Amino acid sequence: MAKVVVVGVETNISDWIEKYIPKEQLMLVSTEEAFNGAIDGQLNEEISAVICGTEFSEISANEIAQSLRMLNGSLEIYFVSSKQEKFDTTQLGKDGIKTCFLFPLDEDRMAEELVRIRSKTTGERLFQTVCFADLAPGETLDFDIFLYMPANKKYLKLVKKENSLSSSQYQRMTVNNRQKAHVLLSDVSKFYDFTAKHLLSVNSDSKISETEKREQLKKSVRVLLTDLFSASEDLATLSGRRSTMANAKQIVRKFIEKSGQVDIKNAINAQVGEQNNGDAHLTNLSVYASLFSLALGIGEPGNMAIAGLVHDLGKDLLPTQIKHKFPENMTSSELLEYEKHPHESVQALKRLNVPLTDDIIKAVSQHHERIDGSGFPMKLSGRYISGEGQILGIADQFDHLTSTVEGRRTFSPLEALERIEQTGKFDGGYIKDLKDLFIDKEENSEGSQDIQQTAATHKEVIDVESSKKEPKAS
Amino acid sequence: MFASTTKVLIVDDMSTMRKLVLKACNQLGLVNVEQAEDGVKAWEKIAASPEPFGLIISDWNMPNCTGIDLLKRVRSTANTKDTPFVLLTAERDTAQVKEAVEAGVDNYIVKPFNQETFAEKIGTVFQKRFGKTG
């Protein structure tokens, strides 16, 4: 079996790579001596890809790439590092690096690439579970849709790409009023694109009434959020939940692309890098703020996603002793400094010299304001706090209450929203609308009988071993 | 082709690349090979060598003194100006090629290259200089 060679890569990153590429497929070259030996021996193994890093003091990634390409000019060579200062993508590209990843910022992109490499090397066809937020019979998709048959561990191609979805096929996909299916890993990006495009086009459709629009979008967001917090077996584990969050993240990323805010995101990434994007809270908040915005029609989803990512930029400027303290433990002078951070976050954004939209500025500057005037930094109250500020503030509290933290109870989405409602610090109308997104789940069993019947009427069945299901998402 | 006794100088700041070019030279029968890690150290070797180098193979991008600067120095010095000189580069830039030709390079090899390409390029240099094949 062809190997993936990992040369001079930081230990934490190469440990992470092992989640995607099985050990027997990996060749770790972790010392310069070993690399020189490999060059001398001309690397006798068949190699499918090389991942190189910056851990060798005497041999740069440029040199690794150049010398390996001398042995095999068609090698796919990737570069990964967590050190921004060593990230000269132009020169790396000239020296033969196909793609560069800054870790953990580019973790998702790199994970997709690793799965592609693994799939190409082993010939496995890998799938990902997806939940369609808004699908109807008659739609045509540009990717195949599969159902999984647990009884005989096979994937059944239900709908071929570019074919119209029939009513019966639609019914086969419907479980608990949601359309769930599997897509090939190589098609996942098309699924995210389809979902984001669909949701945004409904959001901007002037031909339907506002009420109808809200109802349709609430239904779609309900599907996405319910999937995220589902108690079903495959999602109850942390890896299952992470996988669905990864799906939601990618859909929200498409919102950002389609809203034209990529420049802000890139500017933020360049400035803050791993601090900003390695934080799960910021990512969760980006997803919740964006989906809440879509469901309630407040702000623009792509902009609210950005606001979620950047709302605490100002905290990075706080002195270290304050930065890592909970507000309840701060002295009064420390609290005064801390309460400036929403304003400082906006100032930090303005220094990026990218066009900022009103909804981003409002959301970031007001996410700690409360309708009873008890918030900060401006002690605004009631209607003076924008919807964007409230949505981001609610999303912030929501994530804290629903996240798993050692030593503290994790609340369900409804419980979290009820607790937030009880504080009286946010508009009750918004909370009611958000609670609506989590009510009305119907507990039906999976239609495995239907799937078996479907298998009898469809010829194309892909036989996959049960151990080769979707890889764990990070 | 160059005689096996030809004195060759390989210049590259990357040790693994020097190793690979050395191997390529050895496969052509060129065994009298020295190495330098940049243009400055290369010139020190050239100046100090009791017998002249018969072939210089140099990388373009190096710290302290690039391959093109080394070439220009070699071509402007009386007792080295006719030394066959080959440049190696990772880039395929026409402006760069023009600069190298104007500076008097004998040939230009783009990395990565295989043994076949290396043999062909070095053979061409020999033929151009000495009017003989093989």
Domain limits at B32? 8-130
Specify the domain boundaries for CATH 3.40.50.2300 within chain A: 3-122
Distance to chain A for B110, nearest Cα, Å: 11
Do the chains contact at B90 and A70, CB–CB below 8 Å? no
Amino acid symbol at A261: Q
Question: Would you give per-residue pLDDT tens digits along chain A (474 residues)?
Answer: 788 999 999 999 999 998 888 888 899 998 998 898 888 876 667 888 999 998 998 888 889 988 888 888 888 999 999 887 667 777 888 888 888 888 877 787 788 788 888 877 777 777 877 888 778 888 888 999 998 888 877 888 988 889 888 888 888 888 777 788 888 877 887 888 888 888 888 888 888 888 888 888 888 888 788 777 764 434 334 444 455 566 677 788 788 777 766 666 666 665 554 444 446 788 888 889 999 999 999 999 989 998 998 888 888 788 877 877 778 788 888 888 899 999 998 988 888 777 788 999 999 999 999 999 999 999 999 999 999 999 999 999 999 898 877 677 888 899 999 999 999 999 999 999 999 888 754 333 343 334 444 444 444 555 443 333 334 333
Nearest C-alpha neighbor of B102 from the set B56, B124, B71: B71
Residue with tokens 């086009």: A201
Separation in Å, CA A52 to CA A95, A112, A163 = 12, 17, 42
SS3 B92: coil
CATH superfamily, with its number, for domain A3-122: Response regulator (3.40.50.2300)
CATH superfamily, with its number, for domain A260-436: Hypothetical protein af1432 (1.10.3210.10)
Give me the DSSP letters along A230-270.
Answer: --SHHHHSHHHHHHHHHHHHHHHHHHHHHHT-HHHHHHHHH
Candidates A67, A69, A90: best to mutate against B (most CBs of B within 10 A) is A67
Question: Is B3 within the bounds of a domain?
Answer: no
Q: For residue A150, which phi and psi values (nearest 5 degrees)?
A: -65, -30
User: In chain A, positions 192-211, which contact chain B (CB-CB < 8 Å)?
Assistant: none
List CB contacts of B94: < 8 A, sequence separation 6 or more. none
Nearest C-alpha neighbor of A310 from the set A353, A279, A355: A279
Specify the domain boundaries for CATH 1.10.3210.10 within chain A: 260-436
Tell how strand B8-11 and strand B55-59 pair up: parallel
Question: Is B17 within the bounds of a domain?
Answer: yes
Specify the CATH number for the domain of residue B70: 3.40.50.2300
Q: Which chain B positions have a beta carbon within 8 Å of A58's beta carbon?
A: 15
Question: Is B1 within the bounds of a domain?
Answer: no
Question: Is B2 within the bounds of a domain?
Answer: no
CB A363 within 8 A of CB A391: yes
Domain count, chain B: 1
SS3 A145: strand
CA distance linking residue A64 with residue A366, whole number of Å: 49
**Secondary structure E strands in chain B:** 8-11, 33-36, 55-59, 85-89, 107-110
CA contacts within 13 A on the Cβ side of A469: 16
